[in-house]
Structure 1
Amino acid sequence: MAQTTKRALAESMKKLLAKSPLDKITVKDLVEDCGVNRQTFYYHFHDVYDLVEWIFREEFANIAREEIDYGRWSEVLYRLADHLTENRALILNVYNSISHGEVTRYVNRVLRPYVAAIVEEQAKGIRVSLENRDFVTDLYTQGAAGLMCNWIETGMRRSQLLRLEKFEQAVDGSLGLVLKNFEGK
């Protein structure tokens, strides 16, 4: 029952975000739209920002369950772009209402496990410490996340996604070389 209520509040938040920026949405607006009382909202969340964070975590969990071909950077990036596009109103209104850092952290959290899987695949047969694999994962995650966040900042225009193709071209084959640079160190 608790998850059902949380999901209902999340759907109300998404619906309201389609019309208004996050900083204009109140708990009162949410409970009226959802048909629950304020106590119910506060039983589950501290405030509207806590609800948005929960939505991000749930969306991340859904993405993490998807099967992805870790041999192709573009699949990872375009999957995330598709997900963000499906939630365009939520992402843009959150991005424009609160610290851009929250959306940046979300994009990084979503991308990192996929990049880590790509790094692990490429590291097979190369003696690279966990610390260095972690560093390389952060390096590539932040590069990809930076492009994704720039895409969000520019209004999520489809034409900007061409930069993701350029990213894939730029990093194609480089990961193995970077990992070899750390071999035995």
Structure 2
Amino acid sequence: MICIILIPVKNTTCELYRTKPVEKITVSEITRKAGYNRATFYDYFLDVYDLLEQIEEELINHIGEKITNTISNGNFANIFLEAFDDMQKNAEKYFIVLLTGEHSSKFSDKLKKSIMPVIISAFRIPTDDLKAVYALDFYLSGIISVVSEWQKNDKELSTDELGSLVHTLLTEGVLKAIGQKEITQHNALWPADSFSPH
């Protein structure tokens, strides 16, 4: 999955990306810390942006393949957690930085756009069924956000606990997950009268 000869370059880039924005990272800094020369860097990458782009693509492709291979099992709630968990085991340093870093929303959007067609195809969702497509978009955005927050907080929940939470959200909804049985004026996130004309 990850080209072995370039691991030091990618590791160094991700370490730097933890502490500074990409526009502040230089090729010279990467190659010096990684023990490569600039010529070797340019054999594989156009610039630092291209390097990060390639890391993103590797991770997204791997997650997509994992989801494609497991989606037939039918356990929709755990498909993504298994894919993310597998990705973390194989390339934890890259994954955490891209999922929780300064530009994590960009990576999350690319990941969602890559996964969406796989799910639509697997569940034979008509692309003109706008409600289904919006529902799927909502779900994918939610689970990517949950996993990102989980990583940022050093996995305060176990993988099983997070999987159970995602399953509850998917099958029974948010109210069940936060311990509420029904929406009332008391517990409504947005009281009904807040939408009334003034």
Q: Does 1:13 pair with 2:36?
A: no
The answer on whether the counterparts of 2:112 and 2:141 sit within 8 Å (CA) in structure 1 is yes
Aligned-pair identity in percent equals: 17
What residue is the counterpart of 1:146 in the other structure?
145
The answer on whether the counterparts of 2:77 and 2:163 sit within 8 Å (CA) in structure 1 is yes
1:97 Cα deviation (Å)? 4.8
Pair 1:143–1:114, CA change in 2 (3 A) = farther
Compute the RMSD of aligned alpha carbons: 3.5
The answer on whether the counterparts of 1:92 and 1:155 sit within 8 Å (CA) in structure 2 is no
1:114 Cα deviation (Å)? 4.7
Among 68, 71, 81, which residue is 2:70 paired with? 68
What residue is the counterpart of 2:104 in the other structure?
100
What residue is the counterpart of 2:132 in the other structure?
133
In our comparison, the structure showing a higher alpha carbon Rg is 2
1:28 Cα deviation (Å)? 2.4
Mapped partners of 1:34, 1:113: distance in 2? 40
1:40 Cα deviation (Å)? 4.5
Structure 1, unpaired ranges of 5+: 1-5, 175-185
The answer on whether the counterparts of 2:77 and 2:170 sit within 8 Å (CA) in structure 1 is no
Query: Does 47-56 or 127-136 show the bigger shift?
Result: 127-136
What residue is the counterpart of 2:194 in the other structure?
none
The answer on whether the counterparts of 2:150 and 2:156 sit within 8 Å (CA) in structure 1 is yes
Using structure 1 for the length normalisation, give the TM-score: 0.65
